Amino acid sequence: MRRGLERFCFRNREASEMAGNSTATLALSQPGEEVKPFTPGEAKEIVMSLQEPAVFCNMACDWPALHWNVTYLAKLLAGKRILFRMGMKDMGTAPLFETKCSYVEATLEEFLAWSLREPSCSSGPFSGYESCKYWAYADYKYIASLFEDNPEEFKDVRWSDFGFSGRDGRESTLWVGTSGANTPCHLDSYGCNLVLQVQGRKRWHLYPPEDSSFLYPTRIPYEESSVFSKVNVVNPDLKCFPQFKKAQTRIVTVNPGQILFVPRHWWHYVESIDPITVSINSWIELDTDHEARVEEAITRTLICAIKSADHLSTSDSWLNPTETDVTSHKTNLQYLNAAVSGYLEHQKLKKTEHRVPGTPNTEETFEGSHKRRKVQMDADESFKLMPCEANLATIKTKKLEKIPFGQNLLKVLLQSQQTNPTETVESDFKDFLRENEGHLEKPHCAGTTSVTNNNSGAVVDQKDPSSTASSTRAGICTNDLLDCVLSPQVVSIVARLLLERARLA
C-alpha cells in the first residue's frame, strides 16, 4: 500500500444522510450557539454537485482539530519519529519530485526547534540543513497510523458535518511543513478532496481537467493514483512547455479554519506560505473510482513491464519513494483482473438497485484514509477479491441546480478574474512567534541550486528541467514512449476497450 499502509478494504454502511434542514438546525440550537451555514445534508449536496474548487467558511468552527497546531502535535506525539521531505527554497524551473528530495527522520519537537532556529538543533537530525535555505514537509501522514496510540483524537476531525457519516480523523491525512514546502503539480486519479487548514496558510494553484494537455502529464515518477505535471507551474520553462501558457490558472490562499474543496481530476500545486503550516485532508470516494482503478491497473502493468526491461535507464529514478517495489507482471495482471471484476460487479449492483424500488442507499468509505490503492501480494499467492469490494455502492445525493455561493462558500476564480492576482501574501511572524513562544530570525541566506538525494547520495541540480524537450535529443527514449502510451486519454480508451471485452466474455 502506498505510504506503507495495507491495501484498500472498503466496507458498506447504511446511509444516514443526516440531511435535516436549516429550520431543524435552528430549532435545536441553543441561545448563543454558532449555527453552521449548511446542514450536513446541504454540505454533501454541494460537494457532490460542485464541478469547480470552492472554499467553505465557518463549517469547522467547533472542530477540536483546529487546536492541532504544531506545538500541540509535538506534545501529543512526543518521541514519535516522522519522515520529513527536504527541499531547497531556491526553486529552479524543474518540479521537485519526491525522487529528487532528501529525507530526514525526526520528532515534531526537533522539527519545531529547527524551524525556530534554536541552538539545540545544531546537532540534531536537521543539522545538515540550514532552515533559511531548506524547507521541510511531513506530507501524506495517515492519522490512523500516526495516532494509533491516541485513537480518541480521531473524533477531533468531523467530516460528518459534510454529510459523510462516521468519517473522522481515521479517514484523514496530516500535513506539516515550513514556508516553501510544496507538493508538485499533479492530479489524483481517485475521488475528490476536502482540506482543512489548521495552522498557517497555504496557496493552491488549480487547473481544470480540460487543461490536462497544457500541463504535460507524465507517469514518471510513477506513483499509483497520481498523474504528475512536467511543469513547475510557479516558474515554468515555456521553451520546453509552451502550451502551459494556455492553462486556466486559479489561485487561492486558504486560511486557518477554512476548508477547500478540490473536485475530481483537478490539477493542483500546493505551497506553504507561512513559517509553519498544518492541514488535514480526506479523499472522498466517488462512483467513477471503479473505472479509475482499472486505468491505474493498466498503467501499473505497462510501466512495470517496460521499465523493468529498459536496461539502458538503470540510473533513472522512475519509481516514487512512496512505492514499495516493482510488482511482477503476474501480480499486476491479477490486480488488473480484480479491478475489472470490481467494476463489473458494481455495474451489476447499480442495475439491481435501479430495478428494485426501495433499495437502501449505502455509503462507501475506506477502512483507513486510503486515497491510494496499491496491490501488495506475493506472485505465487492466488488472488482473491476482498468480499467487501465486490459489493460497493455509489454515494447517492441529489444534485443541486444552483450552488449557494456567498460569504460561507467562496468560488475560486480564474487568476484573470481576481481583483489583485499578483498580490504577495506576507507571513504573519508575530502570531507565529506568540503561538510557539520562540525566536525567529529573518532569513538572509541565499539559496543554492542543488540538493542531496539520500537514496543515492547524488546531487540534483534543481534548475535544470527534469525532462528536456524531445527536439533536443537525437532519438526517442523509453520515457518518451511511456509519456505517450500512458497518457491519461490513451489509458482511458484502453480501459474502456478492456471493460467492453470483459462484458461480452
- Exposure string (b/e) for 89-125, b if CB count within 10 Å is 16 or more? bbbbbbbbbbbbbbebebbbbbbbbbbbbeeebeebb
Averaged pLDDT, 325-353: 88
pLDDT in tens, 6-43: 333 333 333 333 333 333 333 334 444 568 999 999 99
Contact 215, 244 (CB under 8 A): yes
Q: How many residues does the chain have?
A: 505
Q: How confident is the model at residue 474 (pLDDT cuts 50, 70, 90)?
A: low
Averaged pLDDT for residues 319-332: 86
Sheet holding 276-284, edge to edge: 102-106, 82-88, 134-142, 173-178, 276-284, 192-199, 259-262, 54-56, 409-411
Q: Which three cell numbers stand for residue 370?
A: 486510503
pLDDT at 470: 42
- CATH class of the region 37-287+402-434: mainly beta
Give the lowest-confidence range in 72-81, 84-93, 390-399.
390-399
**What is the structure's pLDDT at 314?**
53
Query: If you search the block for the grid coordinates 507538493, which residue do you land on?
Result: 183
**261-291 pLDDT, tens digit each:** 999 999 999 999 999 999 999 999 999 999 9
* Of residues 65 and 352, more confidently modeled: 65
pLDDT (average), residues 464-476: 51
- Classify residue 376 as left (phi > 0), alpha (psi -120 to 50) or beta: beta
391 burial (CB, 10 Å; 0-12 / 13-18 / 19+) is: middle
Residue 407 pLDDT exceeds 60: yes
Assign 150 a pLDDT band (cuts: 50, 70, 90): very high
The residues, ordered by sequence, that sit 6+ positions from 101 with a Cβ below 8 Å of its Cβ are 85, 86, 87, 451, 453
Position 102, amino acid:
S
How would you class 201 by CB atoms within 10 Å of its CB: exposed for 0-12, middle for 13-18, buried for 19 or more? buried
Q: What is the pLDDT of residue 498?
A: 95
Please provide residue 385's backbone torsions phi and psi, each rounded to the nearest 5 degrees: -70, 125
Give me the DSSP letters along 375-428: ----TTSPP---GGGGG------PPPSS---BTTEEE--BGGGSS-TTPPPPP-
Three-class SS state of 145: helix
Mapped onto helix, strand or coil, the DSSP state of residue 488 is helix
Q: What is the pLDDT of residues 294-319, one digit of tens each?
A: 999 999 999 999 998 876 555 568 88
Q: Residue 296, exposed/middle/buried by CB under 10 A (0-12, 13-18, 19+)?
A: buried
Percentage with pLDDT > 70 across the chain: 71
Report the alpha-carbon distance of residue 52 to residue 39 in Å, rounded: 21
**Mean pLDDT rounded to a whole number for the chain:** 79
Domain residue ranges in the chain: 37-287+402-434, 289-400+474-504
Instruction: List residues bridging with 174 in a β-sheet.
Output: 141, 280
Position 319 scores a pLDDT of 86
Task: Read off the C-alpha cell for 200.
Answer: 498557517
Residue 350 has pLDDT above 70, yes or no: yes
- Are 143 and 280 a contacting pair, CB within 8 Å? yes
Give the SS3 label for residue 362: strand
What are the backbone angles phi and psi of residue 153, rounded to the nearest 5°?
A: -75, -15
Per-residue DSSP letter, 19: -
Tell whether pTM > 0.85: no
Rg (CA), the chain: 23
* 412-457: pLDDT as tens digits: 999 876 655 444 334 444 554 455 544 333 333 433 333 344 443 3
Hunting for cell 521541510 — which residue is that?
136
pLDDT of 463 reads 42
User: What is d(CA 293, CA 216) in angstroms, rounded to the nearest whole number?
Assistant: 22
Angle between helices 289-309 and 478-485 (to 10 degrees): 160
Q: Does residue 194 carry a pLDDT above 60? A: yes
What is the structure's pLDDT at 488? 92
Cell of 168: 473522522
DSSP-assigned letters across all residues of 152-203: GGGGGS-GGGGT-TT-SGGG-EEEEEETT-EEEEEEESSSEEEEEEEES-EE
Answer yes or no: are the C-beta atoms of 1 and 372 closer than 8 Å: yes
Burial of 42 (0-12, 13-18, 19+ CB in 10 A): buried
36 contact partners, CB below 8 Å, separation of at least 6 = 25, 58, 59, 61, 161
Q: Which of 326, 427, 347, 452 is nearest to 392 (CA)?
A: 347
> Region 151-173: what's the mean pLDDT?
97
Q: What is the pLDDT of residue 103?
A: 97
Question: Please, which residues have CB within 8 angstroms of residue 287's CB and are 6 or more apart in sequence?
Answer: 346, 394, 395
Q: What is the arithmetic mean of pLDDT over 359-365?
A: 40
pLDDT in tens, 83-129: 999 999 988 899 999 999 999 999 999 999 999 988 877 778 999 99
pLDDT at 268: 98
Q: Round to the nearest angstrom and report the end-to-end CA distance of the chain.
A: 31
Q: What is the pLDDT of residue 399?
A: 73
Question: Where is pLDDT greater, at 326 or 388?
Answer: 326
Q: Which among 39, 32, 38 has a CA at the least distance from the CA of 17?
A: 39
Q: Name the least confident of 178-182, 192-196, 394-398, 483-487.
A: 394-398
Highest mean pLDDT among 130-134, 330-334, 378-382, 413-417: 130-134
